[in-house]
Amino acid sequence: MIAAELTTAKNEVFQKGFLDIELDPTLDLFAEIERLKKEKNAVVLAHYYQEPDIQDVADYIGDSLGLAQQADKTTADMIVFAGVHFMAETAKILNPSKKVVIPDLKAGCSLSDSCPPPLFKKFKDQHPDHVVISYINCSAGIKALSDVIVTSSNAKIIVESFPKDQPIIFAPDKNLGAYINKVTGRNMLLWNGACMVHEIFSLEKITKLKIRHPNAKLISHPECEDPILRVSDYIGSTTGLLKYTQSDSSQEYIVATETGILHQMMKANPQKTFIPAPPTNSCACNDCPHMKRNTLEKIYLCMEYETPDIIMDEELRLAAKKPIDRMLEISKKAGL
């Protein structure tokens, strides 16, 4: 077993062990997390899809671009990443000497899983004249095979930074890729991946909701399928959606993305109404099961025991860092 595998195995044992630890129910987790932040010079970065309590203890809440930018500039010794694995991995790629802990090592991503590096490598090799643009929701193995990384807030700008006649492979999200093809007039070759959360919104149920709420605007994440995007009033990253609800004058919104974002939308606009867009299944809302593996208890435990942490092979890290650096550079120049 190589060192990285050994540490991963150790992490998994700790992860299982955590589940058995019975925390004193009177423990004030908010106060304990604040204490650990100070004691360990730790920063808590959280994605908008985290549960409200986690967002409330975070030092920074943001979309994937904002989180990568924060990870890039933090001076903390320990980064506590309340998100999913590819996000914490990105933070580690940018901060090899810092400890990056994740509350639950099993918090994965269906979109990232839909693009295994060996299969993608074969696909890439069949198109040697194409540049590879990958959505940040992918593993380090895919990042290492990419020329540049994008997020939902900079994908358009980055794709447009390539000449119009440049053949491009876009991976792994076919929905975001199709949307970017549409708004840029490109014809990128799309990997057939998708997010399990954004794929299941029901156009029929949304249409019925719109009839009952005629003044509500439909705002959607570009990971949604085309029929939903076509009828949307605004399309953007989680930060884009949040900002739109603050600058727009409407009072009601149907929100087609993971429900975690509603916490910040309601905080920023207490007088407005936010309705989660209904999925095709019988659920009333749409939670990401990976994002929602994280809990306040697990945040406390990973800070206290400093595990599970992200361990990376150095060669892979360096190869994956190049396209992320390129993304950060282009985004900075574009004022994002």
64 binds ligand 13P (CB under 6 A): yes
Q: Pick from 45, 57, 101, 109: which binds ligand SF4 (CB under 6 A)?
A: 109
What HEC string does the chain produce? CCHHHHHHHHHHHHHHHHHHCCCCCCCCHHHHHHHHHHHHCEEEEEECCCCHHHHHHCCEEECHHHHHHHHHHCCCCEEEEECCHHHHHHHHHHCCCCEEECCCCCCCCHHHHCCCHHHHHHHHHCCCCCEEEEECCCCHHHHHCCCEEECCCCHHHHHHCCCCCCCEEEECEHHHHHHHHHHHCCCCEECCECCCCHHHECHHHHHHHHHHCCCCEEEECCCCCHHHHHCCCEECCHHHHHHHHHHCCCCEEEEECCHHHHHHHHHHCCCCEEEECCECCCCCCCCCCCHHHCCHHHHHHHHHHCCCECCCCHHHHHHHHHHHHHHHHHHHHCCC
C-alpha 158/C-alpha 323 separation (Å) is 11
Which is closer to ligand SF4, CB of 197 or CB of 299?
Answer: 197
Q: Which of residues 112-151 bind ligand SF4 (CB under 6 A)?
A: 137
Candidate segments 155-163, 194-202, 246-254, 318-326, binder of ligand SF4 by CB under 6 A: 194-202
Shortest distance in whole angstroms from residue 170 CB to ligand SF4? 15
Shortest distance in whole angstroms from residue 48 CB to ligand 13P? 6
Which is closer to ligand SF4, CB of 100 or CB of 291?
Answer: 291
- The site for ligand 13P, by CB under 6 A, has a size of 11
Closest CA to 209 of 198, 196, 218, 200: 218
Residue 328 interacts with which of ligand 13P, ligand SF4, none, CB < 5 to 8 Å by class:
none
C-alpha 268/C-alpha 271 separation (Å) is 9
Shortest distance in whole angstroms from residue 315 CB to ligand SF4? 26
- The site for ligand SF4, by CB under 6 A, has a size of 12
112 binds ligand 13P (CB under 6 A): no
Which is closer to ligand SF4, CB of 36 or CB of 274?
Answer: 274
151 binds ligand 13P (CB under 6 A): yes
Which is closer to ligand 13P, CB of 292 or CB of 322?
Answer: 292
95 binds ligand 13P (CB under 6 A): no
- Which string of x and - marks every residue 3-42 that binds ligand 13P (by CB under 6 A)? ----------------------------------------
Q: Which of residues 191-210 bind ligand 13P (CB under 6 A)?
A: 195
196 binds ligand SF4 (CB under 6 A): yes
110 binds ligand SF4 (CB under 6 A): yes
- Which string of x and - marks every residue 154-193 that binds ligand SF4 (by CB under 6 A)? ----------------------------------------
Residue 73: partners with Cβ closer than 8 Å, 6 or more residues away: none
Q: Pick from 98, 263, 290, 317: which binds ligand SF4 (CB under 6 A)?
A: 290
- Which string of x and - marks every residue 211-250 that binds ligand SF4 (by CB under 6 A)? ----------------------------------------
Q: Kindly report whether the peptide bond that precedes residue 308 is cis, defined as omega within 30 degrees of 0.
A: yes
